[in-house]
Structures are given as structure tokens and as C-alpha cells.
Chain A
Amino acid sequence: MINWEFCVAFIQASMIFLLAATGELVNQRSGVLNVGLEGLMLVGALAAFAIAAKTGSPWLGFAGGMVSGGLIGLLHGFLSISLKADQTVSGMGMWILALGMTTYLGQPLSGPLPGDGRLESVIAGLTPMFFIGIVIVICVWFGLFRTKYGLWVRSAGEDPSVAVVSGLNVTRIRYICVVFGGVMGGLAGAYLTLVYNPVWSPNPTMGRGWIALAIVFFSMWRPEIMLLGSFLFGFLWHLAISPSALQFQGIDLSYHFYRMIPFIATIVVLTVISSKKISRIIGAEKPAALGKPYFDQD
């Protein structure tokens, strides 16, 4: 049965995707791909969990998650913007680093979060972070398409040489966006371990970062579609955890089958979306300079 409880749970699951994808969307719009999104979330999740467990304050936990995610974003920025490393390789590095680090450092913390570190729900089972998250997404949409700074970010991602000629500092813009992406990734991780499932176990994100990355591509880099995509995948993800919500008469499928659904959906959706026909209908294309380091003319 789909009841309100199920809905709350799936909305919480969606928020994780939404927050992470929002950050990734911004840094991709500026031209920097960070495939290490999963890693950002892991680091944020551990930092938030540890701080909230130690101090008993979920808000400090959120802050810690955001700062640590931002730091990993900064490291990715340093490698891929300043040192002009391959963005995919650097992003992969971030993920592997984070996976190893959080598994090792998180070992002593294994187990549920002590009660006073949890965020209590306020309205109809939803936590304040839900509302904050929605506000952030709206702000990002407005910022990207209605402000000067958004125009700068989009220009840096489309053609950095044009941006430079127009007097913009592409390096600075990209750094800011990549750190923002890191902060949002960290926040998504914090949301996971402080709200959605306040338990620490190794690799708590279980591929959510990769799906969030896919949602950015799925959205054709548009926040409004990304919002939809996040809820779609959040629904599928939660359905995979509690398939009893949709009971098909006479069909008894394995639990593993349901766990596959979000990932299969990712492959199908991305294949369809990336076809030339669809992208022409939507009229959106990926930022032209995405993934390309910018070399100053010399």
C-alpha cells in the first residue's frame, strides 16, 4: 500500500538525489565534471554522522558534512582546474579516496546514531532540511537563469574563451562552482546519515551518488527537470527497499530484482535521453565545454 509514510520515506530518499544533483548541475554548468559525487557524499555522510554523534547537534553535523564535502570539491578543483588533470580521472580518484577513507575512519562509529543527534521532523513527518533543500534548488534555478552570475557560470561552461574575452575570471568561477558542488554533495551525504537512515555502516551511499550524476545528465542540465528526475529515482529507490508498497497480485519477485530497478532505469533513461532525437525535441544540450580544462592563451 502506498500511504503517507511511504511518501515521506520516498521524498526523503529523493532529497538525497536532489541535493547532490543540484551541486553537480552547477559545477557541470560551469564546465567541470565531477564524477566523484559518490565520494563527496560519503565524506559528507561520515563527517556529519561523526560530528552529530559527538556533539549531539544535527545542525553542527550538517555544517561539518558541507565543509568536508566542500574540501573534497576544492581538491578536485585544484587537480582539474589548476593542474588541468583529466576531470574524469580526478573525479574517480575522489570517489576511491573517499570510499577507502570513510570505511577506515568510520569503523569505530558503526551503529545507529545516538538519539539526540537526530533531526526531529516538523511538518507531516518531513524535516526542516527538506524545506531548506527545496529552497536551495529554487535559488539555484533562479541564480542560473535570472542573474548575472548565472550567466557567467553558464558562459564558463559553454565557451571559456568567450567568457575570458568578456572579462570574466573563468578559473575563479569554476572553483566557486566546484566547491559549491562539493558542499551540496556533502549536504546530501549528511542528509542520508542524519535524516534518512541514521546508521553508520561502510559505504552507506550504495551508489546514490552515481544515480545523482545520472540525474544531472537526465535533466539535460535543467533544474526543473532535475527536480522531477530526483523524485522519480527517489520513488524507484524507495520502492526497491520496500517493494511491499506495490503488491502485484500473484507475482512474487525476488528482493534483488527490486534493488535492480533504479539502476536499470538509469541505463534506460540515459540511453533514451542521450539520443539525438530527444535532445533536439527538448532543445537542450550539454554545456559545450563540459569536461574540458581551460588553458589560457599564451
Chain B
Amino acid sequence: MLRSPVNVTSTSPQAIQTARPVAGPYSHFMDLSKGEKILEMRGITKIFSGGVVANDQVDFDIRAGEIHALLGENGAGKSTLMHILSGLIEPDEGEIIIGGQQVRIGSPQDALKLGIGMVHQHRKLIPAHSVLENIIIGHPRTPIILNKHKAKKEISQLAQSFGFEIDLDAKVWQLDASEAQVVEIVKVLYLGARILILDEPTSTLTPPETEQLMSSLKSMVKQGLAVVPFITHKLPVVLDISDRITILRNGKIVDHILTEKADEKWLARKMVGKETLFDLHRTEVELGQEILKVVDLSAMNNKGFQAVKGVSFSVREGEIFGIAGVSGNGQFELAEVLMGLRKPTQGAIFFQGKDIKRTSIKKRWSLGIGYVPAERIEVGSVADFSLGDNMAINLYFNDNYCKWGILNFKKIYQDTEASIREFSIKTPGHRAKAKEMSGGNLQKLILARVISCRPRLLIVNLPTQGLDVGAGEFVQNKLLELKKQGVAILLISEDLDETLSLSDSVAPIYEGQLMGILSRAEADKQKVGRMMAGMVRSSE
């Protein structure tokens, strides 16, 4: 039953040959003609030490030449399942069958020998090394004395055959998120993967980059490879790219469906298990006076490069001003400058008409500027503090909670309990520690804390990133509620759908510059997407 290992229909069979220098012991059983079942997982169960059932009798299969999306919320068990497949975790029960044979995958190397490669969301690349070095590092055929010239030729040929372009001599730290992802994909392909598992592949890409990636993935499956992206948000991407969809919830398979038969609402309902989605309570309010005015503001990033370049805009009462952009384009530095965490190199910041460029952070809080940082664990909270103490961190300068330097803990704890109820935070009470909370609950707590300061201006940085759909929606509705009360909100988000659905004005940011300021009516997804990628600038 020795079949030909590859059915190459593409233009560049040579490149495919180099794509699999480590033909694993089972690879000749793998029939890569389209539609053939090449891998099957049966009855996979994994229970973690805390008793958490991550996977419960999961059946999953992968066919050649298809994109089979795995969909589910955070904690649904997607990662566990794919980590089992890529050899990072071993299952407690169940079997994996490749080409009719049961296999044991004990390590990522085992997985690669079987043709399974995983592209992680948190990049497994070494920033200080060159792209080439990162790609060849684990390759068994790499000679003792490196032959960079030969390796370069092989790799660029392989990359080109899938429509990828990479600079092999660049250092990885110089790359942006999408380039780094391409490097990872090329790396696992070079290592011989024919089943490509992608962890949240589009979460850090601009819309044009997403399209680019999708077309590359499609050309891969045309050449007989199988692609398994697993995705938490971005349902439109799933619908656009995949052939089949499997949905996981609470560690169990809920359903699978051919993509052509699925729609967004149905998928969302299956993922969450209830019908609460896409239900934002947005009320249009009259925009009031100008709260924040930023004029020609510039700032450096931590590496000492210019990150914010001459940014000017203003935010009014009741307005949500959304800054849309992919991370690393200066939006975080901008938020830090506005909050006083970073010094501007030029420009002015006016809050209710007063220049606050030299105002201290504490003063800014008391003036009525609130800040929800992107790093909710590192910056937003103290992991070992209780929820009550985490509330107190932000209230010590508030006369209602602190007199003569003595904190009124009774009131703080009372209000914490009230917030826990109001924000339906799932926790035993204010004594629970921050580190024991899920991301969504922690974010709700941070938001509650900031709101208790009664801000006039709220700067929120990635408010829903990494949250599951329910918590994310709660946070978004809270922001809309604040808007209704007349709070000016500066929203920084990488989720374009979020920015567009919440904001009154949208300003795409690219390499530290605002590419224009669009009103809600003008801002359509394609236009903003192209501006975020620096392709067009609005002609004002």
C-alpha cells in the first residue's frame, strides 16, 4: 500500500519536494489527494490536574486539501486539542490515527515527523536571530557547518511557491506581526509539515494582510496540504476561508458543518450556547463640548524610535473616538502619553481647555481622566492583591475613600461588593485574589474601578482583547452606557469590527500617524482597513 506521497498539482513541484525533506515514517501512507481523510482523532479526553476537563470525548478529522476551521470561545478546548495533535500535551484517553495507523505523538518533533506543524499565536521565534536562522534551527538536515546559501535558495523557493515573500537576512525583531507569522508558516513547511495548524492566524493582521494570508492558505490546500486554523473571534474570516467548521464548547464538540451551509449568527449561537450576540445597545447622543484636544503630539517608544508622529485630534462629550490599527503602530505609546506614563517629545494635550502636558498622572486621575490599560494583568492589577485591594489602588487619592492618608477600607470593600454585583463578576467576593480571576472578570473589575472614579475622559486600550464573547459584549455595552452619560471615550482597539460598531469617529493609525479621521457614516470596513495598512490617506 505504498502510495505516492504527494499529489502535486501546483506549478512548482520542485518546491514541494524541498518542503518535505523529513518525510516521516508514516508519510507514504498519507494520501494527499483532495478530500481523503489523512488524520483522525477519536475519543480524545484530557483532564488537567485541577480537574478541569479540557477535552471530553472529542472526535476530529482532517482531510487533504481542505481548510477545516476549529471554532470556540476561550477555554473551549481548542488549544488543548491542537496541542495534543502537535505533541505538546499527551491525551489521557483516545487515539490518533494517521493513514490507517494508530500513532503516538510525544513531542513536537514526533508531530513534525508525521507531517503536523503548528504555528503558535505567541510567536515561537527568536527575535535576536535572523529569519534564516530561525527557520533552519530545528531542521534535521541542517549540516554541522551551516550552508546558508543553499538553505536560502531552498527556503525562498518554497516560500514563493505559496506566494509568500520573506527577507531571510532580516532579524526577527525587525519584522511586524504579519511578517513574523509568515516566517513561522514557512518554518513549519520547511520542516515538512503537510498539516498546518494555525493558532488565531488573523488576530494581529490588518484586513489586507488577512486577505494576503488567506490567498496563500488557499494556494496551500490546492497543493494538497491541510490547514486547520482555530479561531475565537472573527467569524467572517472563518466563513470566508474555510471548507468545514467544527465548533467546540466546554471541551465537547457541539457541531460540525460545511462552511457553505453556515452563517455568522448560527456559528455564534453554537459557540456561546445562547443567543446574546451582536446585541449592542447603542444610543445616539448629542455630542457636547470638547473634552480632549491633542495637537501635533509626538513621542518615542521604548527602543528610542519615533512612535507617535505629529498626531492631532479631539474628543467631545459623549463621543467614542476609535483609533484603529494593528499593534506596534504607536497607539499604545499615544495612550501612555495621554495618561502621563510617557513623555511627549513635542505637541500639546488639552483637557477641558487646560494644557495637561506637564500634569502628573495622579493629578490627571483627579481631573477626571480614566485609563484602562491593555495589560490587565501586568499593569491593570496586582496579581497577589485581593479584589478589594486592587480597587483601593486607584482610589487612594479620592476624598470619599481616603481621609488624611487613611484608607476607608469598609467603604472600599462595600463598593467592591457592589461593583461585583453590578458587573456580574464571577468571584467568591472581594477577598479573592486578582490572579484567580479569568481575563473577562478581571477586565470587568478594572472597568468598575475606573468608572467609580467618575471620569470625564476614558482611555481604553484593547478593552476586549482575549475576552470571550459574553464578557466582551458586556464591556462594549458598558462603554456605550458611559457614552450615553456624556463621557468622552478614546477607544484603542485592534478589532476593527469593534471599533466600527462602537465609535462615532474612526481614526486609522499607521506608523504613528493618523491616516485621517472618518465619521461613523464614512467609515466602512474596507476603507479603514486600507488606511490602517498605510495604503491610502483620507483626503481632507
Using CB atoms, name the residue of chain B closest to A280: B304
Shortest distance in angstroms between A120's beta carbon and chain B's nearest beta carbon?
36
**Is A151's beta carbon under 8 Å from chain B?**
yes
* Contact yes or no, B127 A151, CB < 8 A: no
Task: Give bound CA distance, A147 to B137, whole Å.
Answer: 11
* Contact yes or no, A165 B124, CB < 8 A: yes
Task: Give bound CA distance, A63 to B108, whole Å.
Answer: 41
**Is B268's beta carbon under 8 Å from chain A?**
no
Given known contacts A151-B133, A167-B109, is B127 in contact with A288 (CB within 8 Å)?
yes
* Contact yes or no, A162 B125, CB < 8 A: yes
B-contact bits for A150-163, CB 8 A (1 contact / 0 none): 01101100110111
**Is B88's beta carbon under 8 Å from chain A?**
yes
B-contact bits for A275-288, CB 8 A (1 contact / 0 none): 01100100001011
Q: Which residues of chain B from 99 to 136 have a CB within 8 Å of any chain A CB?
A: 107-109, 112, 124-129, 133, 136
**Is A166's beta carbon under 8 Å from chain B?**
yes
* Contact yes or no, A158 B126, CB < 8 A: yes
**Is A131's beta carbon under 8 Å from chain B?**
no
Which B residues touch A146, using CB under 8 A? Answer: 145-146
Task: Give bound CA distance, A159 to B128, whole Å.
Answer: 10
* Contact yes or no, A147 B138, CB < 8 A: no
Given known contacts A148-B144, A167-B107, A168-B138, is B304 in contact with A155 (CB within 8 Å)?
no
Which of the listed residues B124, B126, B145 has the most CB atoms from chain A within 10 Å of its own CB? B126
**Is B236's beta carbon under 8 Å from chain A?**
no
Shortest distance in angstroms between A298's beta carbon and chain B's nearest beta carbon?
9
Shortest distance in angstroms between A215's beta carbon and chain B's nearest beta carbon?
21
Which A residues touch B142, using CB under 8 A? Answer: 148, 151
**Is B25's beta carbon under 8 Å from chain A?**
no
Shortest distance in angstroms between B191's beta carbon and chain A's nearest beta carbon?
9
* Contact yes or no, A285 B137, CB < 8 A: no
* Contact yes or no, A158 B128, CB < 8 A: yes
Which B residues touch A255, using CB under 8 A? Answer: none
Task: Give bound CA distance, A166 to B138, whole Å.
Answer: 4
**Is A249's beta carbon under 8 Å from chain B?**
no
* Contact yes or no, B128 A285, CB < 8 A: yes
Shortest distance in angstroms between B337's beta carbon and chain A's nearest beta carbon?
20
**Is A271's beta carbon under 8 Å from chain B?**
no
Task: Give bound CA distance, A277 to B138, whole Å.
Answer: 34
Task: Give bound CA distance, A129 to B137, whole Å.
Answer: 34
**Is A254's beta carbon under 8 Å from chain B?**
no
Interface size class of A (residues with CB under 8 A): 20 to 34
Task: Give bound CA distance, A149 to B124, whole Å.
Answer: 19
Which B residues touch A3, using CB under 8 A? Answer: none
**Is B51's beta carbon under 8 Å from chain A?**
no
A-contact bits for B142-169, CB 8 A (1 contact / 0 none): 1111100000000000000000000000
Given known contacts A165-B108, A166-B137, A168-B138, is B145 in contact with A159 (CB within 8 Å)?
no
* Contact yes or no, A167 B138, CB < 8 A: yes
Which A residues touch B143, using CB under 8 A? Answer: 148
Given known contacts A167-B107, A276-B304, A280-B304, is B129 in contact with A155 (CB within 8 Å)?
yes
Q: Which residues of chain B from 78 to 104 have a CB within 8 Å of any chain A CB?
A: 88
Task: Give bound CA distance, A136 to B107, whole Å.
Answer: 36
Which B residues touch A158, using CB under 8 A? Answer: 126-129
B-contact bits for A120-155, CB 8 A (1 contact / 0 none): 000000000000000000000000001111011011
* Contact yes or no, B137 A152, CB < 8 A: yes
Task: Give bound CA distance, A155 to B108, whole Å.
Answer: 17
Which of the listed residues A147, A154, A167, A280 has the most CB atoms from chain B within 10 Å of its own CB? A167
Using CB atoms, name the residue of chain A closest to B83: A297
* Contact yes or no, A151 B128, CB < 8 A: no
Task: Give bound CA distance, A257 to B102, whole Å.
Answer: 75
* Contact yes or no, B145 A161, CB < 8 A: no
Task: Give bound CA distance, A154 to B88, whole Å.
Answer: 23
Partner of A155, one of B137, B140, B144: B137
Which B residues touch A166, using CB under 8 A? Answer: 108, 124, 137-138
Using CB atoms, name the residue of chain A closest to B125: A162
Partner of B136, one of A151, A154, A285, A287: A151
Task: Give bound CA distance, A152 to B137, whole Å.
Answer: 7
Using CB atoms, name the residue of chain A closest to B140: A167
Task: Give bound CA distance, A165 to B126, whole Å.
Answer: 12
Which B residues touch A151, using CB under 8 A? Answer: 129, 133, 136-137, 142, 146
Shortest distance in angstroms between A44's beta carbon and chain B's nearest beta carbon?
29
Which B residues touch A152, using CB under 8 A? Answer: 137
Shortest distance in angstroms between A12's beta carbon and chain B's nearest beta carbon?
32
Task: Give bound CA distance, A158 to B173, whole Å.
Answer: 12
Using CB atoms, name the residue of chain A closest to B120: A165
* Contact yes or no, A162 B133, CB < 8 A: no
Task: Give bound CA distance, A158 to B133, whole Å.
Answer: 12
Task: Give bound CA distance, A154 to B127, whole Å.
Answer: 12
Using CB atoms, name the residue of chain A closest to B110: A167
Which B residues touch A276, using CB under 8 A? Answer: 304
Which of the listed residues B125, B137, B143 has the most CB atoms from chain A within 10 Å of its own CB? B137
Q: Which residues of chain A from 166 to 186 have a CB within 8 Å of any chain B CB?
A: 166-168
Which B residues touch A155, using CB under 8 A? Answer: 126, 129, 137
Shortest distance in angstroms between A250's beta carbon and chain B's nearest beta carbon?
45
Task: Give bound CA distance, A159 to B145, whole Å.
Answer: 22
Task: Give bound CA distance, A277 to B300, whole Å.
Answer: 14
* Contact yes or no, A147 B144, CB < 8 A: yes
Shortest distance in angstroms between B111's beta carbon and chain A's nearest beta carbon?
10
Task: Give bound CA distance, A146 to B133, whole Å.
Answer: 11
* Contact yes or no, B129 A154, CB < 8 A: yes
Task: Give bound CA distance, A297 to B88, whole Å.
Answer: 9
Which A residues touch B145, using CB under 8 A? Answer: 146-148
Shortest distance in angstroms between A275's beta carbon and chain B's nearest beta carbon?
11
Which B residues touch A167, using CB under 8 A? Answer: 107-109, 112, 138, 140
Given known contacts A149-B144, A167-B108, A167-B109, is B124 in contact with A288 (CB within 8 Å)?
no
Given known contacts A152-B137, A154-B129, A167-B107, is B144 in contact with A161 (CB within 8 Å)?
no
Which B residues touch A149, using CB under 8 A? Answer: 144
Shortest distance in angstroms between B193's beta carbon and chain A's nearest beta carbon?
13
Shortest distance in angstroms between A52's beta carbon and chain B's nearest beta carbon?
35
Which A residues touch B127, using CB under 8 A? Answer: 158, 288
Task: Give bound CA distance, A118 to B109, whole Å.
Answer: 52
Which A residues touch B146, using CB under 8 A? Answer: 146-148, 151
Which B residues touch A161, using CB under 8 A? Answer: 124
Task: Give bound CA distance, A167 to B141, whole Å.
Answer: 13
Task: Give bound CA distance, A159 to B108, whole Å.
Answer: 16
Task: Give bound CA distance, A155 to B142, whole Å.
Answer: 15
Given known contacts A155-B129, A168-B138, is B304 in contact with A162 (CB within 8 Å)?
no
The 5 lowest CB-CB distance pairs between A and B, nearest first, are: A166-B138, A167-B109, A158-B126, A167-B138, A166-B137
Interface residues of A (CB under 8 A from B): 146-149, 151-152, 154-155, 158-159, 161-163, 165-168, 276-277, 280, 285, 287-288, 297
Q: List 5 A-B contacts (CB under 8 A).
A: A158-B127, A162-B126, A166-B108, A167-B112, A168-B137
Beyond A152-B137, A166-B138, 20 additional contacts (C-beta under 8 Å) are A146-B145, A146-B146, A147-B146, A148-B142, A151-B133, A151-B146, A154-B128, A154-B129, A155-B137, A158-B126, A158-B127, A158-B129, A165-B124, A166-B124, A166-B137, A167-B109, A276-B304, A280-B303, A280-B304, A285-B128
